Amino acid sequence: MLYLERRPYSSIQFEGLNIGIPSTIVKVGENKYDIDSIVKDVLILKNSNVVILPNKKYNYDTLFQMEKIRSMIRFLRNYNEGLTFELEVFGIKNALTGWDFANIDLITFVCYDKLPQNFEKYIEMENVLFKFMVSGRKDYLNFRKVIEANGFDAGKVFFAPAGESLDEIEKTSELLVRWCINDKFMFCPRIQTVFFKKWGII
């Protein structure tokens, strides 16, 4: 069994290096689903990119959950070797110890105030990105200092506006875009917020 928010569904990848690509979303939650049924859902949707997402309440903080995700990916690759997989990770603690990174095409660490534990070993990995969530100038400067001090490749870092409401996100975006342009960082507009909250589209 794998714990998901809902059954896998078709959408667009709204951020990161694969922005705009039709994708199947597999989002972690509290509802039990049989792995065989999840695999069937993903194959039926026929998207070549699969995005595995946590939510703020349910991450991958148990090895049990990570092992089930590993099994799901293995089964899907057996059926379709052409599938690509993205994994997004919240929080400074995670259950990625011992994870086979080669089995994931792209991993994005989402950082709200601190970097994940043992982040140093991830910096050099080709398939790892860092997304820094910024609510103001202080956040931005703190993250920029961390990036400079630890030798991050700017091409593996992008900034996104934090906030729950459209007004918060739009206000921060206006400033964040300017800072990113000035410092040559990638900017993530969180387009999905417009779809989900403004237009009511999933």
**Domain boundaries, position 157:** 2-198
User: Is residue 181 pLDDT above 80, yes or no?
Assistant: yes
Categorize the per-residue pLDDT at 114 as very low, low, confident or very high, splitting at 50, 70 and 90: confident
CATH number of the CATH domain containing 149: 3.20.20.70
Give me the mean pLDDT over the 28-34 stretch: 84
> What is the residue type of 199?
W
Categorize the per-residue pLDDT at 88 as very low, low, confident or very high, splitting at 50, 70 and 90: confident
Q: Report the number of distinct structural domains present in the chain.
A: 1
Give me the mean pLDDT over the 78-98 stretch: 77
Give me the mean pLDDT over the 79-83 stretch: 91
β pairing state of 157-161 and 186-187: parallel
- Return the closest-CA partner of residue 85 out of 110, 104, 58: 104
How far, in Å, CA of 58 to CA of 3, rounded? Answer: 9
Record the tokens describing residue 132, joined without a space.
């820094």
Q: What is the pLDDT of residues 128-176, one digit of tens each?
A: 899 999 999 999 999 999 899 988 888 889 999 998 788 888 899 999 9
User: Is residue 95 pLDDT above 60, yes or no?
Assistant: no
Record the tokens describing residue 142, joined without a space.
């703190």
Question: What per-residue confidence (pLDDT) applies to 59?
Answer: 58
Are the C-beta atoms of 46 and 8 separated by less than 8 Å?
no
Categorize the per-residue pLDDT at 4 as very low, low, confident or very high, splitting at 50, 70 and 90: confident
Q: What is the pLDDT of residues 38-78, one digit of tens each?
A: 999 999 999 999 999 876 665 555 556 777 888 888 899 98
